Every structure is written in structure tokens, then in C-alpha cells.
Chains A and B, each alone.
Chain A
Amino acid sequence: MFSVDFLLKGLLAPAATAFATALVAMRVSRGSRGIGAIAFAAGQALGTAWFLYGTGDWWPTRNLQWVPWVGIVAAAIGPTAIAMGLAVVERWMLVILAALFAAFVLVPHWPDLWPSRGVSIALFVAVTFALHRLTDQLTRRTSPRLVVSSMAATAVTAGLLIAATFSLSLGEAALTTAAALAGTAIALVIRRDEAAVRGLVLPYVLSVSGWCYVATIEPTPPLLPLLFIPAASLVLWLTAVGPVSHWSPRARWSISLLLLTATLFGLGAWAWFSVDHQADKNRATGWRMPVVIDVA
């Protein structure tokens, strides 16, 4: 399915770059909220450069080409958006501004877009703001290692589903983002750093939401299950509050991983079978095997 070239340059190289950048940055400035975001941006930039090298299309010309740049811009804003020196309103404004930028470049101008561009932009900003707030809060309610692992798993699932259900090339581009997130996540799991995880939340939310949004609206009919993928990490709230939150860390980890895996598998199956379901519907409403003429 994926070429060796892609596995090496599109996945391994961004992941290794992000991983190495995070480890080096942690040696220089441990506890800095920008470490995760910088590492992610480095991996994402390298992966994007590989995709665009030789195409001559460095400047995005359509909405889906903006997603990697949205991630890099969000990586620049993300650490500031959790700075303690800012008032809560100022931090929220930064997140909203980043989400607005993402929405403006990702929501297309199609005449048949539903909901309309204005409504879609408002919804994108509202949903990604809520996702950012809930994921950021989660890093303080449960293990940041668990949260960053769930972010990487969610991004990988999103990329694989986009490749499997819609477009391999778009899925590969999304997997490059996932690889940069995974490389960063591995470094942050090895060396626990809550501030770095919190700084990574905004680029994670906008990148993964961006890929899922463009892959949802491109096909006709839209692949709605993909829209729910970015929210998968929020299933960890079930173990972060309530009775399970008092259990031992090992039990919470186990249950959290089970819940996350079940959620991602469930959403994946929904996305996969929603395309198959269209085929079933077509058969029921007139699908027939073609009469093929002139085929050698």
C-alpha cells in the first residue's frame, strides 16, 4: 500500500526529526512549554518539504494543502496560548485566532458547501476551541504521557483512515503529520514533561482536525465519521474523573488504553463501513454489473 520511499521519507524521517529535536531541546531547556511544539514543527516541516520537493507548489493553492502549514503556525502559537503570564481571556483569544486562521484557509469557497462557509468557519472555530480546552485540561487531570500517547494514536488513526477510505496521497500527507506527532510523543513519554505536552495540544488539535475536516468534505457524500476522530482522545476523561480516577495508575492506564483503542476502532469501522454502505444502497437502487464492451 505505502511505498518504501514514503515509509522512509514521509514517516521515519519526520518522526526521527521530531524525536531528536524534542530530546535535544529537553537537554537545553527542560520544562519549557515550547519543546513539544518545536519538535512537532521540525518533523512536520521536514515531511512537508519531502512532499513538496520537486513539485514547485510550495505555496498552497487549495484548502487541503494548507493543513501542514496550519500545524506549523499552531506550533508557533500553542506554547504562548498556555503561558501563565497571560490572562485567561488573552490565552483563549490566541487559541481562537489560531483556529480562525485555520478555518479561513481550510474551509473552501464551494458554492454547494453545507453548512455555508460562514457557518462552517464558526463551527470549526467553536469545535477546535472546545477540543483544545478539553485536551489541555486533560493533561492536568491525568498522566500527560497518556494524553500525548492518545494524541499520536488519534493522528495515526486519522491518517490511516483517510488513506483507506478516500485518498492515499491525502492519507500519506496526514500520516506525515502523525509521524511528527508520534516522534514527539515518544520523546515526551520517555522524558515526562507536562508543559511540553500542553504546548503540543494546539498544533495537535488544529492539524488533526484540519486533516479530518478536509477529508470529510471532499468526497460526495461527505465521510462524516472522520469528523469525530479528533475527539477520540477525550475518551480519557472517563478515567480522569469519577470513580476510576481513584484506582491505581496502572489500572487507569490499562482502562484508558482499552477505551481509546475501542473508540478508535469503533470510529474506524464506522468510517470504513459507511463507504461500503453506499455500495449496498447503490445495489438496492439500481446497481448492476456493467456490460463491458471492447475490453480486451
Chain B
Amino acid sequence: MKLWSTIACSAVAVLGMAVVSVAATPVPVAGGKAALTPDNTRLQFVCAHLGDKPDPRTGTFGKFTGTLEADPAAKTIKSIALDFDATSLNTEFAKLTTHLKSPDFFDTREHPKASFVSKKITPGSAAGEFQITGDLTLHGVTKSITLPAKATFADGGVTVTSDFTVDRSEFGMKYGLEKVDKKVSLTVVIGEKNKVLAEGK
């Protein structure tokens, strides 16, 4: 496990320096709605350890469905809803995946479903920026969160990117708060294929 941690850290560092970027492809909006699937939407979370060696770990959800309501003409987002299968959580390490699914974290046997449903979307300070407020349900706990998003409309479609953090302890995931950061970074990119880091389930 030590070896894999070292390899992973090196890879993260190299990739971080290289700043790999993948161009998002607009997701078609038909009748004001766009269907969100792992083929056109990326869901990713990163959590790090506390202390001198953060060793950030990346995870994704391999199975989810969702709907984005938007008006390409007015260049506005109306709503967004995502239902994801928590059991499809995956990371690059089998042991880490098993641990994250265990009662220490997501407890996917007890809480196999997670979701996000927007309640209010307001324009941000710049064109294409929005503040999305909605209910995030994780680990059987529902909390209202507000996240920033940037939308781009082109070719009758839309791309959306959002980076935000959630406090896992507010969702009842209180394992190892002295060792693993309670702040979890989440990235949602609508218009980019999801990445499966390992065999999910």
C-alpha cells in the first residue's frame, strides 16, 4: 500500500504540474432539457489527509443520472438534478474504494443512493456565472449547499463546470477527522466524460 501511495502521489504531482485539461463538449439541450449521464458528465471528489503529507485521493461515481434544465437562447440555467449510485464509487485503489464504501465513510450498504436537487439558481457577477443553491443528500443526510458554477452555451448545447467543497462531518461522516480532512473538494463538469478510476462496484 505504501508503494501505491508513493506512486499515486508522484502521479498526482506530475499531473498537477502538467495541468492536464480536457475540453468540454457542449451537451445538447432539447426542449429545454439535457440528460446527464456518465458519458457527458464528470463527477469527481478529492479528499486529502491532514498534516505534512496530504496525499490527496481522487474518487468518482461511475453510475448516475440527471437532468439539467436550461435556456440556451437566454443563456441561463433553470435547474439541475442528479441521482447517483453511491455503490458505484471508485478510486484507483481497491482497498481505498472498499474503505470509502464502508461504514467509516459513505456506508453504501445502508445509504446506496445520493442526490443533488437545485432549489434556487441566481446569476453571478460575471456573464455565464451562477450561484446554485440546492439540497445535497449524502450518507442519508440532506443539507442545503450553495455552489458556484460557470456555464457556456454553444451550438445549442451547454457546458457547466463547478468546483466546491463540502464538510463531510456535516453529512455524518465523522471517521478520522483528526487524520483525514473534513473538507472534500468536488468537481462537476457537464460536457466531459466521467472517469472510472477502477472497476466500480
A168 and B185 CA atoms in complex are apart in Å by 23
Contacts of B197 in A (CB 8 A): 287-288, 290
Instruction: Give chain B nearest CB distance to A15 CB in angstroms.
Output: 24
B93 at the interface (CB under 8 A from A): yes
Task: Say yes or no: A293-B20 contact (C-beta < 8 A), given A110-B109, A275-B95, A276-B95.
Answer: yes
Contacts of B93 in A (CB 8 A): 279
B72 at the interface (CB under 8 A from A): no
Instruction: Give chain B nearest CB distance to A149 CB in angstroms.
Output: 30
B198 at the interface (CB under 8 A from A): yes
A282 and B4 CA atoms in complex are apart in Å by 14
B39 at the interface (CB under 8 A from A): no
> Which of B56, B103, B199 makes the CB contact (< 8 A) with A167?
B103
- In contact, A166 and B199 (Cβ under 8 angstroms): no
Task: Say yes or no: A295-B56 contact (C-beta < 8 A), given A166-B98, A220-B87, A275-B98.
Answer: yes
Contacts of A218 in B (CB 8 A): 102-103, 109
B170 at the interface (CB under 8 A from A): no
Contacts of B109 in A (CB 8 A): 108, 110, 218
B176 at the interface (CB under 8 A from A): yes
B143 at the interface (CB under 8 A from A): no
B201 at the interface (CB under 8 A from A): yes
A219 and B199 CA atoms in complex are apart in Å by 14
Contacts of B98 in A (CB 8 A): 165-166, 219, 275
Contacts of A167 in B (CB 8 A): 99, 102-104
Task: Say yes or no: A294-B94 contact (C-beta < 8 A), given A167-B99, A289-B11.
Answer: no
Q: Mark A244-268, 1 if CB is under 8 A from B, else 0.
A: 0000000000000000000000000
Could you tell me the dominant secondary structure of chain A's interface residues? loop
Task: Say yes or no: A279-B58 contact (C-beta < 8 A), given A62-B110, A170-B102, A218-B109.
Answer: no
A292 at the interface (CB under 8 A from B): yes
- In contact, B195 and A168 (Cβ under 8 angstroms): no
B117 at the interface (CB under 8 A from A): no
Task: Say yes or no: A292-B94 contact (C-beta < 8 A), given A167-B102, A167-B103.
Answer: no
Nearest residue in B to A167 (C-beta to C-beta)? B102
- In contact, A286 and B196 (Cβ under 8 angstroms): yes
Contacts of A219 in B (CB 8 A): 98, 101-102
B21 at the interface (CB under 8 A from A): yes
Q: Mark B79-110, 1 if CB is under 8 A from A, else 0.
A: 00000000100001111001101111000011
Question: What are 12 A-B contacts defined by CB distance under 8 Å?
Answer: A168-B99, A169-B103, A170-B104, A218-B109, A220-B201, A279-B94, A286-B199, A287-B197, A292-B11, A292-B16, A294-B185, A295-B58
